[in-house]
Amino acid sequence: MEIKISDGTYRDVPCVNLESECLLVKVIPDSGGKIQSIFDRRTQTEALYQTNRATFTRPYYGMPFDEGDLSGFDDMFPTISACRYPDVPWEGIGLPDHGEVWSLPWDSVAEGGSLTLSCRGVRLPYLLQKRLTFSRADTLSLAYRAQNCSPFPLRFIWAAHPLVRIDESSEVLLPPEVKEIFHTYDGPRQPDAFGRTGGWAEEKARYGAIADPAEPHCGKFYVDGELRTGESAVYSNRTHQYVKFRVPTTQVPYLGVWVNWDGYTVPQKNMALEPCTGAPDAIDVASRYGRISELPPNGTYEWSLEIELGTAARKETLVGERHS
Q: Give per-residue burial for 280-291: e unless 16+ CB within 10 Å, then b.
A: bbbbbbbbeeeb
43 burial via Cβ count (<10 Å: 0-12, 13-18, 19+): middle
Q: Residue 100: helix, strand or coil by DSSP?
A: coil
Q: Residue 66: helix, strand or coil by DSSP?
A: helix
d(C-alpha 315, C-alpha 143), whole Å: 27
**Per CATH, is 75-311 categorized as 2.40.50.1070?**
no
C-beta of residue 265 within 8 angstroms of C-beta of residue 214: no
pLDDT at res. 189: 60
- The series of mean pLDDT values per 10 residues for the chain, 324 residues long, is 97 98 98 98 98 96 96 98 98 98 98 97 98 98 98 98 98 97 82 86 93 91 96 98 98 97 90 98 96 98 98 92 47
Quote the pTM value: 0.96
Q: Give per-residue burial for 109-136: e unless 16+ CB within 10 Å, then b.
A: eeeeebbbbbbbbeebbbebbbbbbbbe
| Backbone dihedral angles phi then psi of residue 169, each to the nearest 5 degrees | -100, 0
d(C-alpha 185, C-alpha 196), whole Å: 9
| Backbone dihedral angles phi then psi of residue 58, each to the nearest 5 degrees | -75, 135
d(C-alpha 251, C-alpha 153), whole Å: 17
Bridge partners (DSSP) of residue 303 are: 144
The domain spans of the chain are: 75-311
DSSP run (H or E) holding 173? strand 170-173
